Amino acid sequence: MSKTRITAEDLYNISMVSDPQFSPDGRRLAYVHTRIDRQSNGYKSAIWLASLDGARLRQFTAGDKRDTAPRWSPDGRWLAFVSNRGDDKARAQIYLIPTDGGEAHCLTGMENGAAEPRWSPDGSRIAFTSRVDAEEKAGEAENENETPADPEEAERRAREKEKREKERSDPRVIDRFAYRAETSYFDGRTSHLYVLDVDPGTGRAAGKPRRVTDVERDYRDPRWLPDGSALLAVAGRKPGEDDIFYHSDLVRVPLDGGLEELLTGPETEDASPRPSPDGRWIAHQSLPVPELSAANVEIKLIPAGDEGGEPRVLTGALDAHADDLAWSPDSQSVCFLAGRKGRYELCRVGIDGGPVETLLSAEREILAYDLSPDGLQAGFVASTDRAPWDLYVAALDGSREERLTDVNGDWLADRVLAEVEDLWFESTDGTRIQGWIVKPPDAGPGPAPLVLSVHGGPHVMWSRHEASMWHEWQVLAARGYLVLACNPRGSDGYGRDFRASLIHHWGEADLGDLMSGVDQVVARGLADPEGLFITGGSYGGFMTAWVIGHDQRFRAAVAQRGVYDLISFYSTSDIPLLTEWEFDANPWEHTELLWRYSPLAYVENIHTPLLLIHSENDFRAPIPAAEGLFVALRRLKREVEMVRYPRDGHELSRSGEPKHRVDRLERIAGWFDRHLERD
């Protein structure tokens, strides 16, 4: 039986794994298995368990809706997780299920849902987050949110709540410029920390959840101090001010009723507080506010006690971001992920700083990990160009590694995959740029049409194993296109200076890098110079429009969810301060500068047929900029089409409605096919 090529419809076959979590005895890994459900045009997730003594896999929760965030109790008897079980309007709540088998039961009944469960060290309590406003806080104090025994009373309260929610946004009053994000408007609620007592014998709630924060700002990522006396958390800065959406501090929240303590200052953006197992230190991620776009994310260490002291930078010698922190059991080192030259590696640094040790590095992209309780192993999710989204376990001394899942193996066995080849090339000024070419399967002799795929960010790093692009690149290659992807200037993974070179120079610093890559592939005889195409999303959409406004070699282009007008972007995006970070500019003082770096300013130079793809609920790169580019090109009588997707937002290509994602891929490939076939 001959194998078939990857199609857009194969999206419905793709499964993903995430969030690996070791059991307290180190013998099992819990993880989330997500699949796309064609019938509901959505996603379903279940908690699975992998037994490390025999690599046996089993589905542990039903997964009829979305079961996520598995968290083991310290004694291993219970697994907490978050689920939206119930009717379609149900808010996600925290559930508990016995790990030796049995039915899950709902632990919380929060009016606005519950998230981020975290067990106390002794297993008697669970901390979590939930969103509330001032009125709901008052209701908590008066016990108004208790579930009434009378069904008619419960129904009456539900109707009243629904009415209040409608009135909340009719009209919607805006009093700050950070007033919406992703696909929804802020509703006046902030996320707070709660603690719930749990009976360790029955797994049932012992009383009602107790809110332990009160300041009107968002709290997230709760972490217990080892003695259970307090919670660490990330908190939005300066309640009530416009920058609450952008900057965050670390706080310690005592559980004896005392005042929360601020642990970091306004000069830095801080996240991911991780207390050491011995309770002496807190490791966290940190960025200097004046250099949010340019600086490396560092790991800092501060004392966990009241003695204070200056933060100690652990990764000062590492010219890369440090992400996803985890302590070694002996409290002498911190593990983290670092992206370097197209690889995401697991690294370690001692609490005295110094050299960074690479623990796991191979031709793959590590997406998430967890350390075993003894600190000798890592369970991790990784993607390769042959098999995206799988679970692995490896000894940190390099002696053993095992792939535990093959979640896409059955359907991939019947598909022919495109081969990926590394490509290093010199840019116009001699700078070395890393890229990859994805080759059409069973390609004939001679050059192939080429699609230049441009990443967003702008400060991200792609790899040959890029999980977010794996399907798209395979679809385009299957349609006969050679795909070129690279990390031009501004990308992460090549040091601070390389990343910072794009600041104040969008489009200018990276244009030569991208075109040099195209020239290299054409010179090697792999790409047809008369069949060149370009596409990208977000900043990649910006660059697609920028390129065709400055270069006429491309036969057709698809710009997706792009930023085309930096002046209007400032006042419409959910990250308006990006222009200040990247250009040190605002529209009223620097109009000419922001217009100079707007692709819309070069619309008269655009002759390449352009397809614009945008989501109507995209609050990151709002659709009016795409509308402006579309109207201008229509008035200039250039070839342009626009596709608008309702309901979806900026993450359409990664987590949007599956039908929209399939349609999007078909339209991209179809646009290129249409213009390839022209004489």
What strand order describes the sheet that includes 640-645?
A: 419-426, 432-439, 482-486, 448-454, 527-537, 556-560, 610-615, 640-645
Of 339, 336, 367, 338, which is closest to residue 349 (Cα–Cα)? 336
What DSSP element (H or E) covers 349? Answer: strand 343-350
CB 254, CB 305: distance < 8 Å: no
From residue 602, how far is each of 515, 542, 589, 606 by CA, in Å? 18, 12, 21, 7
With 0-12 CB in 10 A as exposed, 13-18 as middle and 19+ as buried, what is 170? exposed
How far is residue 187's CA from residue 190's CA, in Å, rounded to a whole number? 9
Is-cis flag, bond preceding 121, omega within 30? no
**Burial class of 624 by CB neighbour count within 10 A (0 to 12, 13 to 18, 19+):** middle
Cα separation, 189 vs 233, in Å, equals 18
* Spatial contact of 331 and 274, defined as CB atoms under 8 Å apart: no
**Three-state secondary-structure class, residue 500:** helix
End-to-end CA distance of the chain: 36
Distances from the Cα of 660 to the Cα of 45, 225, 648, 655, 667, angstroms: 20, 44, 8, 10, 10
CA distance 20 to 126: 19
Q: How far is the C-alpha of 411 from the C-alpha of 415, rounded, in Å? A: 7
Q: Which residues are catalytic?
A: 538, 650
CB 211 within 8 A of CB 222: no
Strands 210-211 and 640-645, bridge-based pairing? unpaired
C-alpha–C-alpha distance, residues 52 and 310, integer Å: 42
DSSP structural state of residue 198: B
Q: Measured between alpha carbons, how far is 575 from 555 in angstroms, rounded to an integer?
A: 33
Distance CA 573, CA 552 (A): 30
Q: Please state, in angstroms and rounded to a whole number, the distance separating the CA atoms of residues 672 and 608.
A: 12
**Can you tell me the distance from the alpha carbon of 479 to that of 482, in angstroms, rounded to the nearest whole number?**
9
Q: In terms of C-beta density within 10 A (0-12 exposed, 13-18 middle, 19 or more buried), how is residue 26 classed?
A: middle
